[in-house]
Amino acid sequence: MSTARIIPHDPKATSELWASAPTGEKPAKVGTTRIFYNIPPKQLTALSSLGDGFEKKTGTAKREVVRKAVGSAVKAVKAIDGVKDVKIDASLDPHAAAVAAHLAQYSFTLKTSPTPSRFDPNLKEPIPEKFTLSPEQSSEEWDRGVVYAESQNVARTLMELPANIVTPTAFTERVKSAFAGIDNVEIFVRDEAWAEEKGMRTFLSVTHGTAEPAKLLEIHYKGAPSKDDAPVAFVGKGITFDSGGISLKPSAAMKLMRGDMGGAASVVAATLAIAKLKLPVNLITITPLTENLPGPSATKPGDIICAMNGKTVEVDNTDAEGRLVLADAIYYASSEYKPHTLIDVATLTGAMDIALGDLYSGVFTTSDKLWDQLRVAGETEFDRFWRMPLDEDYGPQIYSSNADLCNTGGRPAGSCTAALFLKAFVEGIDGDEPSLKWAHIDIAGTMEVTRPTPYLEKGMTGRSVRGLIEYVRNLQ
Ligand code: BES
Ligand code: MN
Ligand code: ZN
């Protein structure tokens, strides 16, 4: 029994096979999978229900049903020993089927038995997945879907791996090997001396409590017809562990903060896909990477730091470190590379999780056009975004200390004041005709799911990766 077939099945359609299994009164729910053994020519067949009313569904709703059906079936097949090849009837939507299959196949573990872990950082040779996934008919859409999902899985792994394994240095090493052999890409790993030279003092203020060297990673991808075309810029928050610093977090669930580099992981993974797909854009991706720990030299509440753009910042709470590392990185990206659009992604505020949970990532932007582009991309990939207010009237909450800005704005609207703080570091955003479009995406709520979904296991999600890739693919 080494080959399995997966067939999404409309319970309304007549199928002797489906009918041969015991049925309830109601049509089976989406993803209900029935497994049949020894169907000629001697293979396992998994029929996965598309649920009631599939024929009436269109667009994004229909695509999501396909993802759920295929993902559930892959999970069901994964539980059966001995399956080596899985063939999928992807004809309903090859892209969505490929995405769901590869996301559902993924499961993270560092257990050493019953089989060695694929995620062991000391592996000499990569260990392949237990089974291969392929479509019954090959297509470009399927292949593209594979790139989307595998990139998302790269982000999931970076986030899931603990902070002793993914240090800032290890993060940059992993990124370099992931990009090996891909055309039109240059990678720069900057160190703390470089950041000092640039005057990135708010970034560096977060590094003072840890012995682990901080890094700033830059990936330059040139895919546009002209190398001089204004780029898109991605900036990602890369806190490889966030203890809160001197404003120490409570210990319950602190281990989740190994994923506080989720923004960096997402933008890097999206960049990987964009380069693999050779999309015709220029893209600059920048991730400041550091741990946030308490220590004898750590930044203290009340310290005032002068950022790279000259603005002074009072560090009222060292646990609001994301905006400090992003402030300099966003200013650097926008002033140095003059992008037409800058998107930053960050696990920035617990308040984002309170507001939207793990369904929607929050988007803060001054541009209706950019919001529309992100919304459409997010809906297409079911990597959904919700627009949040970016409003100067929240300003008094962060403008009232002895510095230009305070890094906390209190509990009310915590995600909105964080976004407004970042806006002060986007060069060119002010005035009636800003020279760039900017969006901030807060993925603090979507970074993790606490229950499995039809095509994700419980754990780190890699959310925003597919939304970002789709946004860039729609740019032409
Ligand atoms: N990394 C956290 C935000 C976070 C919390 C992400 C929970 C995912 C899940 C961030 O650095 C943080 O600690 N933010 C503070 C800001 C506050 C001190 C103004 C927060 O949200 O409590
Ligand atoms: Mn924090
Ligand atoms: Zn953080």
- Distance from residue 319's CA to the centre of ligand 2 (Å): 4
Between CA 48 and CA 43 the distance in angstroms is 16
Per the rule left: phi > 0, alpha: psi between -120 and 50, beta: everything else, 431 is left
Q: What is the pLDDT of residues 322-351, one digit of tens each?
A: 999 999 999 999 999 999 999 999 999 999
> Among 323, 463, 466, 473, which one carries the catalytic annotation?
323
Looking up tokens 């928050």 gives 237
pLDDT at 21: 72
pLDDT at 47: 95
CATH number, domain 158-474, options 3.40.630.10, 1.10.290.10, 3.30.9.10, 3.40.50.1860: 3.40.630.10
Helix (H) or strand (E) holding 378: helix 368-381
442 CB near ligand 1 (under 6 Å): no
The residue among 271, 286, 278 whose CA lies nearest residue 179 is 271
- At the fourth CATH level, which superfamily is domain 3-131? Leucine Aminopeptidase, subunit E, domain 1 (3.40.220.10)
Mean pLDDT within 96-119: 97
> Is 249 an active-site residue?
yes
427 CB near ligand 1 (under 6 Å): no
State pTM to two decimals.
0.98
Average pLDDT for the chain: 96
225 or 38: which carries more pLDDT confidence? 225
- Distance from residue 48's CA to the centre of ligand 1 (Å): 40
Identity at 461, one-letter amino acid code = T
Between CA 296 and CA 88 the distance in angstroms is 57
Domain boundaries of the chain, sorted by first residue: 3-131, 158-474
pLDDT at 466: 99
> Does 472 score more than 80 pLDDT?
yes
- Distance from residue 409's CA to the centre of ligand 3 (Å): 15
Residues in the chain: 476
Between CA 137 and CA 128 the distance in angstroms is 23
Q: 3-class SS at 321?
A: coil
Q: 6 falls in which pLDDT band (50, 70, 90)?
A: very high
Contact of 348 with 330, CB cutoff 8 Å: no
Mean pLDDT within 285-293: 99
pLDDT at 78: 96
pLDDT at 28: 87
Torsion of CA 138, 140, 143, 145, to 10 degrees: -120
* C-beta pairs of 329-333 under 8 Å, 24+ apart in sequence: 329/200, 329/203, 329/216, 329/235, 329/286, 329/287, 329/288, 330/235, 330/422, 330/425, 330/426, 331/307, 331/425, 331/426, 331/427, 332/198, 332/200, 332/286, 332/308, 333/233, 333/235, 333/284, 333/286
> Is 278 an active-site residue?
no
> Does 26 score more than 90 pLDDT?
no
pLDDT at 23: 64
Between CA 67 and CA 59 the distance in angstroms is 13
242 CB near ligand 1 (under 6 Å): yes
Torsional sign, CA 446, 447, 453, 456? positive
Q: What is the pLDDT of residues 428-470, one digit of tens each?
A: 999 889 999 999 999 999 999 999 999 999 999 999 999 999 9
